[in-house]
Amino acid sequence: MITMMKGVSIFFLFCAFRIINVFFIQSQFDPDEYWQQLEPAYCQVFMETGKPCPGLTWEWKREPPSTVINSISDFVDVGMKGPLRSYASILPTLLFYHAIKFFGLDSPWAVARGPVFL
């Protein structure tokens, strides 16, 4: 029981450190995948419908053709023309952006720094 309590307290200590750390760090490691997660989520929530999103990479811009699949080669052809990335990867950020927009908390700071909490 004492070992479990110690483990739980260490976990909460690390969580508190991570949350406090967000407010003090002014730089971050920027892998390309980080921005490829934020840009589509931002465009889905904050861009006007029908307007192109300027920051999207080609993986998000490909549109699937509206064709009937009759063979394996048609299946491969349609798959090669459709979007490459899944929206499942951006779901946490997408929900976060929807929440801050709904509650009117969509300040530039919240949009830019909020996903760091996720």
DSSP conformation letters of 69-101: --SHHHHHHHHHHS-SS-GGGGHHHHHHHHHHH
pLDDT tens digits, one per residue of 5-62? 777 889 999 999 988 988 887 776 666 777 777 888 888 888 877 777 877 777 777 6
Query: What is the C-alpha separation between 83 and 64, in angstroms, rounded?
Result: 7
Instruction: Please say whether the beta carbons of 40 and 53 come within 8 A.
Output: yes
pTM for this entry: 0.59
| Two tokens, residue 94 | 């997408």
Instruction: Please say whether the beta carbons of 93 and 115 come within 8 A.
Output: yes
Q: What is the pLDDT of residue 12?
A: 92
